[in-house]
Every structure is written in C-alpha cells, then in structure tokens.
A and B are shown apart, each in its own frame.
Chain A
C-alpha cells in the first residue's frame, strides 16, 4: 500500500507536469462540450411539420418560425406529416390535438428531434398547471434515455475522453523501456503493488476528472447530471469499465506508443458507437452495436435514472477488461 501511494504520487506529478492530465481530463472534454453546444445552437433552421392547431402552435411554434429559428410546414393530417418525416423532408412532426402533443422524429436527425422535444416540453412546463402530455415517438436515438441536450453535451465528451485518460498500460511499458520498472521491482516493495499502482492509478485520475467535470459543466453549461447517488454509482462504474477496457486494449502493445494508439482507437470506436458525441440512429444495426459500448450504458443510466442495470453492465465490462489485461500484463511484467 505504501508503494502504491508513492508510485501514484510520482505518476500524478509527471502527468501534471507534462500537461496530459489537464488536457485529456478537463480541457478537451469541456472544449468539446462547448463546441457541441455551439453547434446545436447555430445549426441551420430545422424544418418541422405541424398537423393540427391550437395554442401550442400559435404561442410556441409561430414565434420560433418568425424569429428564423425553425421553419414550419403544415400537414393536412398526422399521417401526411409522418410521411414527410419518413421521407426526410422534415426532421420531426408536431402532431397536435387538444389533449396532447406528439413529436414524431426522424431517427437520422437526433439533434433536431431533441430541439422539437425541447420546444414541446418547455411549452408544457410553462403552463400552469403543466398538464399537457408530450410524447416522443419513432425516435430511436432517445430509446430508453431522457437526457436533456445540455447534459448529454457535457456527459458525452466527459466519458469519451475518460477512455483515453485512465489506462496505465502505456505507463508500464514506458517504465519498462526506460529501465525504471526493473528499478522499482528491485526495490523492497511488493511486486503486485507496483503493477497495481501503475494500472490502478488511472482509476483515481478518472474519478477525479469526472468529479471535476460534473461540477464544472453544471456551472458553465447548466448540465444536470442527476441524483448524486445515481451519478456517483455510474461514474465509479464507468471509470472502472473504462480502465478495464483500456488496460485490455493496451495489453496487446509492445511499446508505449502502440499502447496509446490502441487505447485511443478503442476509445474512439466505442465512444462513437455508444453515442458519446452524437446520438446513434437506429439504422444498420448501429444501435445494437452500441450495446457493446460502456459509453451507451453510462449515458442510458444517467438519462433514465435507473442505476442498477447500467451499473452492473459497466462493472461487467470492468471485470472482463481487468481480468484479461491482468492475465496478460501480469505474466509479462512480473516474471
């Protein structure tokens, strides 16, 4: 335990000094969150269809149309509006009747669909009392997830860069190449504590970075991550999962550079598949592929507030990744 702390402190000092910790852990996730927020706010006006009339159309949609933020196209019926959505002529349909608003979105335009949902929900929230049911259908990107755009734009980049931050495999390989690993192993410390510090240090770094990001994105972007208990459990689980997956990816490397490249490649693929940058449309089996990504389970857990299943799945990723990585690296480094 003593060696674990000593090696960890040294690693932190090195990473703080070379700037990689702040860059990957804080600066890049915040920058990407900012850019995503900017992009969604400055996109071309989205086209929507509207079927039906009522106060929602006059009080919420028309003003947005007049200000140029959206364009509206009248549909004679909900069926015609749905056809426009299917054909891709509009991003979503507002099907309005006296009792409810139904948003029918095009799966390939998740940001515009989220905008439509936001408009409907905001209108409903401003009513006293807020009783108008708003439903969103045919939007595969929102399947099982209710994350608001601001939180998604904060949580996605955070978990995306987490996967590049947490693995210590490259560090182990660098220490071996530089001759410092044998020097540590020759010191009167437990051999496994050396490996644990190198590989497990990333977990603490990841937890710290995520904690900072949850706090800072709440302040800067108004992200609402959810109940503290749920967020804490999911953050711990996803950090463990990220470290396990990254350690496994790096365990196939022979040099530090290979390890970094392999970890980054896995991080990008899983990040995109899991919808951490843009929601994944349910086409071509991409949504099924996303189930293999810890990112998706983390975001799904945040969105639904349902912690048990996502956390268990994430811990499964962690167990599998760490188990296989230690079986490989432990044999390589400690014999």
Chain B
C-alpha cells in the first residue's frame, strides 16, 4: 500500500472556450493536509469535482491509494469523504436522518450505521440537536453537519471545499481543529480555501492555484522563500491611488505595487529601511497617507508575487 493517498497529474477541464483547470497536478500523503489556495474562480472546485469523481475530466489521471480513479470508480469513492462548498444537506430532514441517508448510500447496514451516525454526531457536537430539523439550525451547526457527513465512511482522503465559508470565528476554529485531529489520525486532507490564514494555520503544504494552473506548491516556509525577504506594505491613501502606485513602483526596493480604492499594496525589500522613502514618494505624488501597515512575508504576499493580484480580487 502506498503512503500517497491522492495523486493527480495533468488534470484538465474545459467549459466552452474557457479552460477552468489546466494541467493541475499534486499528491497528498496519509496524514498530510494539503491546501489548495486561490481566489474565487481559480478552478479549485472544478479540480476537486474531478478528484472526487463527480465531474468527468477532459485529460489527466487521478489515483486514490494507488488505484486509478474516475467517475465510475465506486471502490475509490468509498475511500473519499467529500464536503462540498454548498451545504449539501436536506433542510426538512433532521441531522440524524441526513446522516442515515448518506450512510445508507455508503452501504452501511443498520447496526454499523446507527453506531457511526452517533459517533459522527458526537464529533461535530450535534448529539443534543440530532432530532431537530436542519432548517432550524444556525449556519455554524449546518457547516458542522456538512463536515460530519463527509466523515461518515471513515475516509482515507477527506476533501473539503471551502468548508468555513460564511461561518462565525468560533465555528471556524472548531472546524479547523477537527480537521487537524483527523490529519493526525492519518487521514489525507485536501482543503481548498481563499483564506490565507486558514491555509497557513492548517496545511502542511500549500498549492497556489490561479486561472486553473498550479503556480507553486510547498510548505509555508518554501513558498515564502519565493518572495525572498519582501515585506508587504499597505498604505491607506486619500484620493486616486494610481499616481502613488506609479511613483512607488519606481523606487529601487519596491518589487511590486498595485492600488485600488484608497489602498496601495507594495512588496518591498526591507520595509523598515525603505519606509521613509515610500512615504516621501507618495507625498510627492500627491497622495496623503492616512495609515501604514507593514507585514512580514506571508502566503498573501506569495500569491501577490506569483500572480500580481490579491486572494480576494
């Protein structure tokens, strides 16, 4: 048995004239959490849909635990737990009924099913509300149940597509902690997000995806090394930021500059030394600086460096 649970190579999917996923490839080992980090529309969900066997790919290969996997590979699907971005729940049914239904689809017989449903309810903290209609749940509870369904079959590969979208900070922390525990238990985790903080906190390795292509991958340290010692400097300015962006881009230590609605974002070699020159250049360009924020390199800076745009663009 291979230590690599998921391996995909050269995945491609085209919708009409647009190539949503273009030559994507990466692998995930048992116990590893791999983050696919990219903005909305980067191709994350399309990639995941091909990996879990929901969407037929145009080209490329996917192997699950060493066996070729596609949309008709039922044994392979039995190894995957899938948590879709939309809340894949029946709102007029109870949490227990939702879990029972998907457990049946995974072929669990009565006794095993009831035991596993109870375990999952405990894991996601919904045992007390298991008999309540999902429609009456809070958003955070629905998200937890959404994840719980993905855990029913004790997956070897857990695929979570933006599982914290729209949840409160407390539920987000609970979800991230649960995923970490599963990875520690040996589950391979594929986690897509456009939240840089989640990827940094949770993932052993991160793949940076944009416009359907994997721009880079590695550990946080490896990725940050790509931007050398570049710091991120964020200036709040009054008025049109374009003149300031032009002026700042001309400074020798500024590697990248962009601006939008009252903000100028810079990648700078040694921001502490360069800051006086930056402020002076902005002032000469006619932009009054209201605020300054300096951050050490992070995945957001990596994304900016690789793609020239922000994760939330």
Q: Which residues of A contact B (CB under 8 A)?
A: 2-3, 6-7, 10, 13-14, 17-18, 177-180, 182-191, 335
Contact = CB atoms under 8 A, between A and B. Distances in A.
A7 B75 CA distance: 20
A23 to B, nearest CB: 15
Contact of A10 (B75, B84, B101): B101
Chain B, interface SS category: loop
A198 B87 CA distance: 19
B82 interface: yes
A185 B54 contact: yes
The size class of the interface chain B forms with chain A is 20 to 34
B61 interface: no
A180 B88 contact: yes
B107 interface: yes
B160 to A, nearest CB: 12
B74 A186 contact: no
A191 B78 CA distance: 14
Chain A to chain B: the 7 pairs with minimum beta-carbon distance, closest first: A179-B86, A179-B88, A183-B88, A188-B74, A187-B105, A188-B77, A186-B82
B54 A10 contact: no
A7 B49 CA distance: 21
A7 B88 CA distance: 15
B53 interface: yes
A187 B88 contact: no
B101 A6 contact: yes
Nearest to A194: B105
Given A3-B105, A10-B101, A179-B86, A188 B78 contact: yes
Interface in B100-159: 101-102, 104-107, 149
B8 interface: no
Contacts of B52: 186
A62 B123 CA distance: 82
A185 B92 CA distance: 21
Interface in B255-276: none
Contact of B84 (A179, A189, A190): A179
Nearest to A191: B71
A178 B87 contact: yes
B88 A182 contact: yes
Contact of B88 (A3, A13, A178): A178
Contact of B54 (A17, A18, A182, A188): A182
Contacts of B7: none
Contacts of A189: 74, 105
A107 B205 CA distance: 80
A195 to B, nearest CB: 13
Contacts of B88: 178-180, 182-183
B97 interface: yes
Nearest to A187: B105
Interface in B63-93: 71-72, 74-75, 77-78, 80, 82, 84-93
Given A13-B97, A186-B53, A188-B74, A6 B92 contact: no
A169 to B, nearest CB: 18
B280 interface: no
